[in-house]
Structure 1
Amino acid sequence: MLGILGAAVAAGTVAAAELTGVRTEDNATIIALRGDIEEGDADGTEALIKTANDDGRLVMAIRLDSPGGSLAGGIKLAELIRRAKLPTVVVSGARCASACFIVFAAGVEKFASFGAAIGVHGVSDRLGHQSAQTEAATLAMARIAGLFGVPPRIVGRMIVTRPDAIAWLSPDDLRSMGAIMTDRVEQPAPPVSASKPAGPARRWLVRAPHRADEP
């Protein structure tokens, strides 16, 4: 599937996410991902999992705060999370949209704060343009979301929402895909209709996969 997406669109380089291992009070580890997702981030995450395990600590979850990035990188990271049976978490004040949504959906358990913003949209090329290739990539991405248990209603909104807009998901939307809502409502929920987010949106960046020798 990564090969199909990589062949669909060639996008420009984005900065890799910041990945850190946070030790909990009970000597476990939570991996925190912040920023743009890149294809090497799956390798970086796997290295953090190995480091924690070598130290005798379990990795309890991956915490996400990302506006998006490389779609191919997001899918590769999602596949790792599914293999490792890791929960995914989006805390209050964090955002998870675009490629990050696929990563969130892959969690064996999904936790989302009422104060988090989680959204979906379609694929564009590096210039923000849509084409037959980007439409094919959107459909391929939608199929992957379906395999991760994302219901047809959300998949449909992913397909019809323009790359320069985001369809923010409501708590009911998130529950419908198996997410557990956490915290009390601390702020108004993000708009459910497709609209431009506050600040710059990260489009789906679909790039040809490459082999990384280092995280």
Structure 2
Amino acid sequence: MLVVSGEFGANEPLNAFTNAVASSRARVVVFNSPGGNVGSAIRLGRIIRAAGLDTLQLRQLQCASACSLAFLGGVHRVAEPGSIGVHRPSLKPADGMSNEDAEARFQFGTAAIISYVVEMGADPKLMELASSYDKHDIRYLSASEMAELRVTNAAANQSPADALQVSTTPDPASVSAPAPDARQQPESVAVAFVRDLIEHHGDNNDFALAQAQASYAPMVDYHGKLTNLSSIMEDKRSYYQRWPERGYNVRNDSIVVSCANDRCKVSGIFDWIVRSPSTHKQEKGVADFSYEIAIGPYPKIIAERGDVRP
């Protein structure tokens, strides 16, 4: 059993967790966390899912706020009644951010959370419930609510210990994965930002457009031409309407990144497939990408280039 404890920091590197999984060979993750940064919690949830791990939450420990999102990463999810707490996401704009950028950031953040909840197999109505409570009035879920919203996916008549066949008392040999230093190198931030942008082009149109709106600077060197954000959005909207079903996968071993003076360049290769059910057309292939990003509290794309390989 692996215990994840502490708050999730912004742009938090998760190497400590992946190393702990490898060294402990744990198959079940338990949380003792009051929450923290939503983006880091979502990244941890995806790592948990990719590793094929299960999640278990005990009432004597804490898993509230953003921690509930990390919990959803479990392939099999079991929680005691009252052990998972949710509330309305806190998505604060950075100092000096315009109202337009703040609204775009909020829309993107909300869309990204809902997209993740659906991706993990839970009911998006979970976010509707959470939105009724602020962070000072956390709503702890009952067993029936967790089952109905697919926060848990074990049989309702099974206890957590029976469902995952683990002891509800943390094993002395358990490995604790405390929250590491929240600081992260700009290279890691840039790579995570670009990967998230590309792979979430495959979300439904509203989510993908909200992310694009929040990710580009007001003026961008867009495929060799200085282009304003509204024109970029129109280009994206037209493409998404033409190809409603899309899938993208960045090749990890292709990524090259370099950073200097709060600017990062990220390039690499991704595989893509697009479909249009209405026209019965499908295309797929391989493409090169290159982005230049202004790194800050909210990274922004200032240049983009790319070519489809023949």
Matched residue, 2:73: 106
Listed as ranges, the matches of 1:1-215 within 5 Å are: 30-38=1-9, 39-40=11-12, 42-52=14-24, 58-114=25-81, 116-125=83-92, 132=103, 133-176=105-148, 177=150, 178-180=152-154, 182=159, 211=188
Shift of the 41–91 alpha-carbon distance from structure 1 to 2, 3 Å rule, reads farther
Task: Please report how far the alpha carbon of residue 139 of structure 1 lies from its aligned counterpart in structure 2 after TM superposition.
Answer: 2.6
Task: Please report how far the alpha carbon of residue 49 of structure 1 lies from its aligned counterpart in structure 2 after TM superposition.
Answer: 1.5
Find the aligned partners of 1:120 and 1:149 in 2 and give their Cα distance: 19
Q: Counterpart amino acid of 2:8?
A: I
Find the aligned partners of 2:40 and 2:123 in 1 and give their Cα distance: 23
Which structure dedicates a bigger proportion of its chain to strand? Answer: 2
Shift of the 126–167 alpha-carbon distance from structure 1 to 2, 3 Å rule, reads farther
Residue ranges of structure 2 left out of the alignment (5+ in a row): 162-182, 190-310
Task: Please report how far the alpha carbon of residue 134 of structure 1 lies from its aligned counterpart in structure 2 after TM superposition.
Answer: 2.8
Q: Counterpart amino acid of 1:139?
A: A
Tell me if structure 1 keeps the 8 A contact 2:3–2:31. Answer: yes
SS class of match (1:59) = coil
Find the aligned partners of 1:183 and 1:149 in 2 and give their Cα distance: 19
Find the aligned partners of 2:110 and 2:185 in 1 and give their Cα distance: 17
Q: Counterpart amino acid of 2:2?
A: I
Find the aligned partners of 1:209 and 1:119 in 2 and give their Cα distance: 30
SS class of match (1:96) = coil
Task: Please report how far the alpha carbon of residue 61 of structure 1 lies from its aligned counterpart in structure 2 after TM superposition.
Answer: 0.7
Shift of the 115–159 alpha-carbon distance from structure 1 to 2, 3 Å rule, reads closer
Task: Please report how far the alpha carbon of residue 71 of structure 1 lies from its aligned counterpart in structure 2 after TM superposition.
Answer: 1.2
Find the aligned partners of 2:82 and 2:131 in 1 and give their Cα distance: 25
Identical residues among aligned pairs (%): 19
- The count of aligned residue pairs is 154
Tell me if structure 2 keeps the 8 A contact 1:101–1:120. Answer: no
Task: Please report how far the alpha carbon of residue 208 of structure 1 lies from its aligned counterpart in structure 2 after TM superposition.
Answer: 9.4
The Cα RMSD (Å) is 3.0
Q: Counterpart amino acid of 1:34?
A: S
Find the aligned partners of 1:104 and 1:209 in 2 and give their Cα distance: 26
Tell me if structure 1 keeps the 8 A contact 2:56–2:160. Answer: no
SS class of match (2:28) = strand
Find the aligned partners of 2:62 and 2:110 in 1 and give their Cα distance: 21
Q: Normalising by structure 1, what TM-score? A: 0.61
Q: Normalising by structure 2, what TM-score? A: 0.44
Find the aligned partners of 2:143 and 2:50 in 1 and give their Cα distance: 26
Shift of the 117–209 alpha-carbon distance from structure 1 to 2, 3 Å rule, reads farther
Shift of the 209–90 alpha-carbon distance from structure 1 to 2, 3 Å rule, reads farther
Q: Counterpart amino acid of 2:7?
A: D
Shift of the 162–92 alpha-carbon distance from structure 1 to 2, 3 Å rule, reads closer
Residue ranges of structure 1 left out of the alignment (5+ in a row): 1-29, 53-57, 185-206
Q: Looking at CA atoms only, which structure, 1 or 2, has the larger radius of gyration? A: 2
Tell me if structure 2 keeps the 8 A contact 1:88–1:107. Answer: yes
